[in-house]
Structure 1
Amino acid sequence: MSVITINKRGLSRAIMLVAMMGGLPMAVSAQENSSADREAASAAELQQRIAELQAQVDRLAQSAQINNPEPEKKTFGETEIQIGGFVKVDSAFSQYSDGSSATASIGEDFLVPSTIPIGGEGGDTKYHSHAKASRLFIKSHTEFGTGAINTHLEIDAMAGGQGDERISNSYAQRLRHAYVDWQIDENRSLLAGQSWSTFFNVGALPEGLDFVGPVGTIFERQPQVRYSQKIGSGQIQFAAENPASTLYNGTENPYDDNATPDFVVRYNNSIGDLSYSAASMSRELAYESGTGMDDSRRGYAISLAGKLQLGRDDIRFMYSYGNALGRYLGLNSYRAGIIDADGDIELIDQHGGFVALRHFWSDQWRSNLVLSATSADNPGFVSDTTPTAYQSAQVNLMYSPVPKLSLGGEYIYAQKEIENGSGLLADDSGDLQRLQFSMKYVF
């Protein structure tokens, strides 16, 4: 965008000159007619025109100053505070093929793939409503010469362990984000605190009414230290994040016996309308038991994610693979490894992903279609009930009659499959069908 600066005094003089030139014929005419009266009238008319033009210049200058104010200069050490969030109400009708409800209550609030029941009798459609996803945050921004300090504190009531539906539906607040982000300069930053895992590209997550969405997404928030550095048109990030080991055949879930953090390296860039990220993770899986058995193994995982802009529409995608995905994939859909009979850890290859299309029907109406799947290559000695695959499909219609207000409906289908290697179980899969309606206002 080009900016044109208008000098009020110079413009006034130019207008005056043009006005005087415009009045020149009248002056010449007055001289030719040798009429003092006509000359006096012309001079008075000229002065009136100049006054009118000057008034218009003053009004234009005042309007430009109001509509295009000069940017406010930041004061060294001055802190700005921002408070925001949203209020969201969710109502859902759920139908399970192999049970009357999710195996854990959190699966009623949003899609948690591992809580889909298998092996029971299908129940009637169940209705459930809550406002736990409503969110509040406080941010601060402080300028320090070429750099700045940003902080972010955020809470909601989702997955809160306190409260029930008997009387007041009161639920405890939980911590989502709490971090300090030091913008060292325009090329470097250092973040410390709890935030989204560096392994998770949040910008690729599809827009939906469900709290998380596809079964194949990476989804993790945890304490970490992250350094970011611009390189050319891209950015590289290095992070050390809080570890935890989820293992089958263990007495704890998760184990907190790790000696090293989870290490993540991620690269972000864009090519035309495509923005993307490539992340790699190395982490330790470890356990110690009271019987003297213990072991430690190091695994890896990779993840590629991005968004392709198609005019106003977009396609979002993610694919992840590794033998240490575990709790990072699909809300801990799988554990990262298994403890064998000798007490050794055997890591499990897993992969998953999704593809999503967002389409705008008009300025107020839009839809999202999301397809997702994951699978695990479990060893032959896992139990029959160990999950081996998940699939999900979601389609929604969203309406925004005014800015920041969204109303909509979403259909969710999700399926869970288990090993049943012995063949003794009567059923080895179960599915969920859910129709969800939501209203959300961002403030």
Structure 2
Amino acid sequence: MTKPAQTYLSSRRYNTVRSLSFSLAALSTLCSMSAYSEQTDKERIKSLEQRLLELEQQVQKKNDHSSTAAQDAQNESTQSKKIVVVPKTTQRPSHDFEAPDKSIVLSNSDTTLQIGGQIWLDAIYNSGEMTNRAGFQTSSIAYESNTTKDNTLLSVGQSNLSFKSYTPTQYGAMITRFEFDMFDDQGSADFNLTHLWGEIGDFGAGQTFSGFMDIDSFPNILDFWGPNSMVFTRQPQVRYSTAVNGNGRIMFTIEKSSSDFAVPKSSTRAEYDDINELPDLTVSYLHNGGFGYIKSAMVFRQLGYETLSTKDTTLGWGLNVSGAITVTPDDTIKFQLTYGEGIGRYVNDTCCSYYSDETGGVDAGLDSNDRLKAIPVTGGFAYYNKQWNKKWSSAVGYSYLAIDNLVTQKDKSIKNSAYSTANLIWYPATQIKAGVELQYGDVQSKSNLEADNFRVQASVGFKY
């Protein structure tokens, strides 16, 4: 090959290599720029995502704070409702614990639901023939020996459960009460409806304590039955109650009637039917003062009976004065005085004696001229309650009941009875109480049959 040709080929080869070098350099630069641009976009996207996450967290924190504040406000409102609206209903002192009932404010409602009750055990020893094994009822003492088999008993009959509600309305507070206990006179656990009650403002209806009785005068005793002369009954009724004079309250009730006819000597109970054509009417006045309180109550009843050939009615009435007198800040005296004609069904001992299936009741019977007559009943009790300190208390008292029997009443009809107790009660915690009580009672019949019973009772109660 000639030299010019070699020179031409070398020059072309050089130019080609040079062009390739420039192309490679340009391509490398473009790739670098593309890679840089791609990396920059990723970092920008990542930065935006991080910023978005931070903003979301800030919004969530604000929402959480608002929710917490709203929940706190709701809880505070709920707690405020609990403190303000929960009512306290009256009950016997032995069932009243220092710890309050548990309350729930119902959602989407102004109603507060209150749940309360107790688990209670009585351990009892008897020395006589008391047929009411779980309650110290003097009219249940049998005159015959060997009537009862066991001297000891364990009973949970004083255990109970209650549901109460409170709802404010434009007509006043609406309060309801549903309650039952487990009492059975032989010590078996049984469900007994005690209260099924509702009221709004000054009006009430349902089943609860009679307007003729005073549950606040019930002494602080462990016995379930209570003093023999105590006016004590719960029954269906309609009630109107209103405050007067600042410290007083007057109440009117229309209550279920249930005549309890005393069977004549020469007859059987099956021959007579009780007549209950009209309801019982009661009126009472309660006055509170620095001395304590006093309550006066009256009841008016129509009593009657009928047989296949005879029918007769008569009027019954009664007066009950009761109260509590403050002796010292720690000591009180509770009392009750009762007199009436035809009120036997309202009184503890005469409502249901052991021999009532044979003798009938103590409301009304036939006189010597076979005319219906209301039977007079007189009774009363007094109890001294001593609060030794926050942990210990005692109550001691006596009760007496007398019936002016008609000549036609049967021989085993109750004539009079007496009841007395003394106790020592310990309060180890606000939801626990325990104690021991000595109880004595005697009963006498129209024909002067007599019997008595001594009982020792130990009890423990737990509030839930």
TM bracket (short chain):
0.7 to 0.9
2-structure distance, mates of 1:275, 1:341 = 43
Query: 1:341 deviation in Å?
Result: 7.1
2-structure distance, mates of 1:92, 1:70 = 43
1-structure distance, mates of 2:77, 2:112 = 22
**1:196 alignment partner in structure 2:** 209
The alignment partner of 2:213 has SS state of: coil
Q: Is the CA contact 1:214–1:370 (under 8 Å) kept in the aligned structure 2? A: no
| Residue 178 (1) aligns with residue 203 (2) | no
Q: Match for 1:217 among 212, 230, 249?
A: 230
**2:306 is aligned with what amino acid?**
E
Query: 1:348 deviation in Å?
Result: 1.3
- Note closer, same or farther for the CA distance 1:253–1:208 as it changes in structure 2 (3 Å cut): farther
**1:412 alignment partner in structure 2:** 439
1-structure distance, mates of 2:283, 2:425 = 36
Query: 1:229 deviation in Å?
Result: 1.3
Q: Is the CA contact 1:243–1:256 (under 8 Å) kept in the aligned structure 2? A: no
Q: How does 1:364-443 map to 2 (within 5 A)?
A: 364-420=391-447, 428-443=449-464
- Note closer, same or farther for the CA distance 1:123–1:280 as it changes in structure 2 (3 Å cut): closer
Query: 1:112 deviation in Å?
Result: 2.0
Superposed CA offset, 1:221-262 (max 9, x none) = 000001001111211000000000111116269955211100
Q: Is the CA contact 1:204–1:307 (under 8 Å) kept in the aligned structure 2? A: yes
**2:169 is aligned with what amino acid?**
F
- Note closer, same or farther for the CA distance 1:439–1:254 as it changes in structure 2 (3 Å cut): farther
Q: Is the CA contact 2:317–2:340 (under 8 Å) kept in the aligned structure 1? A: yes
Query: 1:409 deviation in Å?
Result: 0.4
2-structure distance, mates of 1:404, 1:191 = 31
2-structure distance, mates of 1:190, 1:299 = 26
The alignment partner of 1:110 has SS state of: coil
2-structure distance, mates of 1:252, 1:199 = 30
- Note closer, same or farther for the CA distance 1:210–1:70 as it changes in structure 2 (3 Å cut): closer
Provide structure 1 residue ranges, at least 5 long, that are not aligned to the other structure.
1-65, 184-188, 421-426
**2:216 is aligned with what amino acid?**
G
1-structure distance, mates of 2:301, 2:239 = 16
The alignment partner of 1:248 has SS state of: coil
**1:298 alignment partner in structure 2:** 315
Q: How does 1:320-399 map to 2 (within 5 A)?
A: 320-331=338-349, 332=351, 335-340=362-367, 344-399=371-426
Q: Is the CA contact 2:159–2:182 (under 8 Å) kept in the aligned structure 1? A: yes
- Note closer, same or farther for the CA distance 1:69–1:85 as it changes in structure 2 (3 Å cut): closer
**1:11 alignment partner in structure 2:** none
**1:261 alignment partner in structure 2:** 279
- Note closer, same or farther for the CA distance 1:405–1:344 as it changes in structure 2 (3 Å cut): same
**2:286 is aligned with what amino acid?**
N
1-structure distance, mates of 2:77, 2:167 = 24
| Residue 90 (1) aligns with residue 119 (2) | no
The alignment partner of 1:203 has SS state of: helix
2-structure distance, mates of 1:325, 1:350 = 7
Superposed CA offset, 1:201-231 (max 9, x none) = 1000101111022111111000000100111
2-structure distance, mates of 1:256, 1:79 = 43
2-structure distance, mates of 1:343, 1:307 = 42
Q: Is the CA contact 1:415–1:430 (under 8 Å) kept in the aligned structure 2? A: yes
**1:207 alignment partner in structure 2:** 220
1-structure distance, mates of 2:231, 2:272 = 18
Q: Is the CA contact 1:306–1:317 (under 8 Å) kept in the aligned structure 2? A: yes
Q: Match for 2:130 among 98, 102, 114?
A: 102
Structure-1-length-normalised TM-score: 0.74
Q: Is the CA contact 1:246–1:253 (under 8 Å) kept in the aligned structure 2? A: no
Query: 1:339 deviation in Å?
Result: 3.1
Superposed CA offset, 1:376-403 (max 9, x none) = 1112332221111000110000001111
Query: 1:115 deviation in Å?
Result: 1.0
1-structure distance, mates of 2:348, 2:271 = 16
User: How many residues are treated as equivalent by the alignment?
Assistant: 352
Superposed CA offset, 1:47-69 (max 9, x none) = xxxxxxxxxxxxxxxxxxx9999
Query: 1:77 deviation in Å?
Result: 5.8
- Note closer, same or farther for the CA distance 1:173–1:124 as it changes in structure 2 (3 Å cut): closer
Provide structure 2 residue ranges, at least 5 long, that are not aligned to the other structure.
1-74, 86-104, 354-360
Q: Match for 1:311 among 320, 329, 332?
A: 329
| Residue 227 (1) aligns with residue 245 (2) | no
The alignment partner of 1:108 has SS state of: coil
- Note closer, same or farther for the CA distance 1:255–1:193 as it changes in structure 2 (3 Å cut): farther
The alignment partner of 2:443 has SS state of: strand
- Note closer, same or farther for the CA distance 1:398–1:227 as it changes in structure 2 (3 Å cut): same
- Note closer, same or farther for the CA distance 1:379–1:177 as it changes in structure 2 (3 Å cut): same
| Residue 143 (1) aligns with residue 157 (2) | no
Structure-2-length-normalised TM-score: 0.71
**2:323 is aligned with what amino acid?**
G
Q: How does 1:10-21 map to 2 (within 5 A)?
A: none
**2:250 alignment partner in structure 1:** 236
**1:293 is aligned with what amino acid?**
T
- Note closer, same or farther for the CA distance 1:252–1:335 as it changes in structure 2 (3 Å cut): farther
**1:45 alignment partner in structure 2:** none
**2:291 is aligned with what amino acid?**
D
**1:84 is aligned with what amino acid?**
G
**1:95 is aligned with what amino acid?**
S
**1:208 is aligned with what amino acid?**
I
Question: What is the aligned-residue identity percentage?
Answer: 26
2-structure distance, mates of 1:179, 1:260 = 22
Q: Match for 2:140 among 94, 115, 118?
A: 115
- Note closer, same or farther for the CA distance 1:69–1:155 as it changes in structure 2 (3 Å cut): closer
The alignment's C-alpha RMSD in Å is 2.7
- Note closer, same or farther for the CA distance 1:254–1:318 as it changes in structure 2 (3 Å cut): farther
> Max radius of gyration: which structure?
2
Query: 1:172 deviation in Å?
Result: 3.3
2-structure distance, mates of 1:287, 1:390 = 27
Q: Is the CA contact 1:179–1:193 (under 8 Å) kept in the aligned structure 2? A: yes
Superposed CA offset, 1:389-442 (max 9, x none) = 00011000000111131100000000000121xxxxxx7110010000000112
Query: 1:280 deviation in Å?
Result: 0.7
**1:155 alignment partner in structure 2:** 180
Higher mean C-alpha displacement, 387-396 vs 123-132: 123-132
